[in-house]
């Protein structure tokens, strides 16, 4: 019988052991790299646990149409309203179109109105919706209500675990993920185990969990998603050949899946194939205009001196930001980090980052606030947050890069040099924008 632990072996007493069924290929013995989209740095489950493929979109639209037809003939079917709302949430992620969130809210609230007692499907859907809108406190509340109503179901613990991770409540989050995979070892739970391990710096364990996810995938699209995440782990470790292999396998499994195509564009940019990367990014954005892809293309234009084209991508991001806000999605953290990277709206960015840190203290928020403090000239305060961002042991080149520049500004030359070395040892291609700066800084640190 194979065994795995959501927590790393450095913290064995905090978490229960996870035993998997015989034959399950999750070979995790000791085990984020998360959603603004993919795992080019460890990112949240809410951003990584959705495979945006055209096939998924088409399938979702067919299911939506079927439920809409059902509700025209049975408008008081609470379960159908709940299922429709959850499909709307999924469609928003698949298409990167937040307009679906408002539709989801209406359908899920209608479901609860019609069936207020033990409506687990609607509660889970509302939790997914809150998390997708970055209302993680709300997601936690809905998830806990669903868990109380159906403690033997796995799905509520996914909602709970996702919310707790984003709130920075890691021991509780890992316990929820442990409970989820205990109840149902499938793609969703294995992916969350992988993410929990990645956050704690256990990349080998995270990859083993994803190997398990591939083996239990129900269809090629699910297998493509897990394979793509394996590629992201390899990318984050600086293994370009291994990452390319995984991305290409994911594309063969599901040619409509946009994420590996975008990742291959990023990889080709790292290999200095600028023309190829630009064309690939443009093709992906035409299909799925996710902010991450728009940002990466803009930064590729910026570092190659195509400033007018970079400005065009920045304008598109501004439009997307307004669209997300209009549909109830809090993108303050992402906007703050982007502003700090590009030296714009610094005072406002710092205000946003502080407000987000007051709401949730994840490692990602700590890192973003540290970076905003740095660009606003408050390095002594920034260093404490940069240290906090790394307290789980996350192998993030970006986190180490941010801390290195803060240390350099404080005159801590040796520490800055060590962090820059660590940055490039983890992944010398960690950022289209910052990797060249890290290499240059190392020569003078």
Give me the pLDDT at residue 322, please: 96
Confidence of residue 444 (pLDDT cuts 50, 70, 90): confident
Beta-carbon contacts of 286 under 8 Å, excluding residues fewer than 6 positions away, are none
Confidence of residue 196 (pLDDT cuts 50, 70, 90): very high
Confidence of residue 22 (pLDDT cuts 50, 70, 90): very low
What are 316's two structure tokens?
């598109």
- Name the more confident of 45 and 210: 210
Helices then strands, counting H and E runs in the chain, come out as: 23, 2
DSSP 337-404: HHHHHHT-SHHHHHHHHHHHHHH---HHHHHHHHHHHHHTT-HHHHHHHHHHHTTT----HHHHHHHH
pLDDT tens for each residue of 76-95: 999 999 999 999 999 998 88
Tell me the percentage of the chain whose pLDDT exceeds 90: 85
d(CA 137, CA 127): 10
Averaged pLDDT of the chain: 89
d(CA 17, CA 267): 37
Query: Taking 50 as the threshold, does the pLDDT of residue 341 lie above it?
Result: yes
Provide mean pLDDT across the span 4-32.
34
Provide mean pLDDT across the span 409-422.
97
Q: What is the 3-state secondary structure (H, E, C) of 111-142?
A: HHHHCCCCCHHHHHHHHHHHHHCCCHHHHHHH
Query: Taking 90 as the threshold, does the pLDDT of residue 32 lie above it?
Result: no
- Per DSSP, 20 falls in state P
Instruction: Supply the pTM of this predicted model.
Output: 0.88
What are 163's two structure tokens?
């919310």
Give me the pLDDT at residue 303, please: 96
Backbone angles phi, psi at 363, to 5 degrees: -65, -30
Query: Taking 70 as the threshold, does the pLDDT of residue 25 lie above it?
Result: no
Angle at 42 between CA 290 and CA 193, to 5 degrees: 110
Contact (Cβ atoms closer than 8 angstroms) between residue 153 and residue 183:
yes
d(CA 435, CA 427): 9
Give me the pLDDT at residue 144, please: 98
pLDDT tens for each residue of 362-390: 999 999 999 999 999 999 999 999 999 99
Query: Taking 80 as the threshold, does the pLDDT of residue 445 lie above it?
Result: no
Phi-psi region of 42 (alpha: psi -120 to 50; beta: other; left: phi over 0): beta
Give me the pLDDT at residue 443, please: 86
* Helix residue ranges, H only, 40-186: 45-48, 54-73, 78-95, 99-114, 120-132, 136-149, 155-167, 170-183
Provide mean pLDDT across the span 14-24.
30
Contact (Cβ atoms closer than 8 angstroms) between residue 329 and residue 134:
yes
Tell me the percentage of the chain whose pLDDT exceeds 70: 87
Backbone angles phi, psi at 3, to 5 degrees: -140, 155
Give me the pLDDT at residue 5, please: 52
Domains located in the chain, CATH noted = 44-167 (1.25.40.10), 335-445 (1.25.40.10)
User: For helices 155-167 and 170-183, what crossing angle results, to 10°?
Assistant: 160
Name the least confident of 58-62, 120-124, 283-287, 411-415.
Answer: 58-62
Confidence of residue 9 (pLDDT cuts 50, 70, 90): very low
Query: Taking 50 as the threshold, does the pLDDT of residue 335 lie above it?
Result: yes
CA nearest neighbour of 292 among 101, 93, 118:
93
What is each CA distance from 123 to 116, 126, 186, 322, 395, in whole angstroms? 10, 5, 21, 28, 35
What is each CA distance from 117 to 34, 79, 107, 111, 265, in whole angstroms? 34, 12, 17, 11, 48
d(CA 34, CA 367): 14
pLDDT tens for each residue of 92-108: 988 889 999 999 999 99
- Per DSSP, 21 falls in state P
């Amino acid at each position: 019988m194979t065994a795995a632990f959501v927590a790393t072996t450095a913290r064995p007493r905090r978490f229960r052991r996870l035993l998997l069924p015989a034959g399950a290929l999750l070979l995790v013995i000791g085990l984020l790299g998360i959603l603004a989209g993919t795992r080019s740095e460890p990112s949240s489950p809410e951003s990584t646990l959705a495979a945006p493929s055209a096939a998924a979109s088409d399938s979702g639209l067919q299911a939506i149409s079927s439920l809409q037809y059902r509700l025209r003939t049975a408008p008081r079917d609470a379960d159908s309203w709940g299922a429709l709302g959850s499909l709307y949430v999924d469609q928003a992620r698949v298409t990167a179109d937040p307009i679906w969130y408002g539709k989801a809210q209406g359908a899920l609230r209608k479901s609860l109105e019609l069936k207020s007692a033990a409506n687990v499907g609607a509660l889970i859907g509302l939790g997914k919706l809150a998390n997708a809108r970055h209302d993680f406190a709300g997601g936690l509340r809905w998830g806990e209500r669903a868990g109380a109503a159906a403690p033997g179901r796995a799905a509520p613990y996914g909602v709970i675990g996702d919310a707790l991770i984003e709130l920075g409540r890691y021991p509780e989050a890992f316990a929820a993920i442990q409970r989820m995979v205990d109840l149902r070892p499938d793609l969703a739970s294995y992916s969350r185990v992988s993410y929990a391990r990645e956050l704690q710096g256990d990349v080998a364990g995270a990859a083993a969990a994803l190997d398990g996810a591939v083996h239990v995938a129900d269809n090629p699209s699910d297998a493509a998603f897990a394979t793509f995440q394996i590629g992201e782990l390899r990318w984050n470790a600086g293994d370009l050949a291994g990452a390319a292999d995984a991305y290409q396998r994911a594309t063969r499994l599901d040619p409509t899946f946009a994420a590996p195509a975008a990742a291959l564009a990023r990889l080709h940019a790292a290999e200095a194939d600028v023309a190829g990367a630009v064309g690939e990014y443009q093709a992906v954005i035409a299909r799925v205009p996710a902010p991450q892809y728009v940002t990466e293309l803009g930064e590729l234009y910026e570092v190659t001196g195509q400033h007018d084209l970079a400005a065009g991508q920045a304008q598109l991001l501004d439009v997307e930001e307004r669209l997300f806000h209009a549909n109830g999605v809090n993108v303050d953290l992402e906007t703050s980090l982007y502003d700090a990277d590009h030296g714009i709206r610094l005072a406002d960015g710092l205000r946003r980052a502080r407000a987000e840190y007051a709401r949730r203290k994840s490692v990602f928020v700590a890192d973003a606030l540290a970076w905003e403090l740095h660009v606003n000239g408050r390095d002594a305060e920034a260093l404490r947050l940069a240290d906090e961002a790394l307290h789980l042991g996350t192998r993030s080149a970006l986190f180490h890069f941010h801390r290195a520049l803060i240390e350099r500004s404080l005159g801590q030359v040796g520490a800055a040099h060590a962090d820059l070395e660590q940055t490039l040892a983890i992944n010398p291609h960690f950022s289209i924008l910052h990797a060249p700066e890290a290499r240059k800084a190392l020569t003078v640190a």
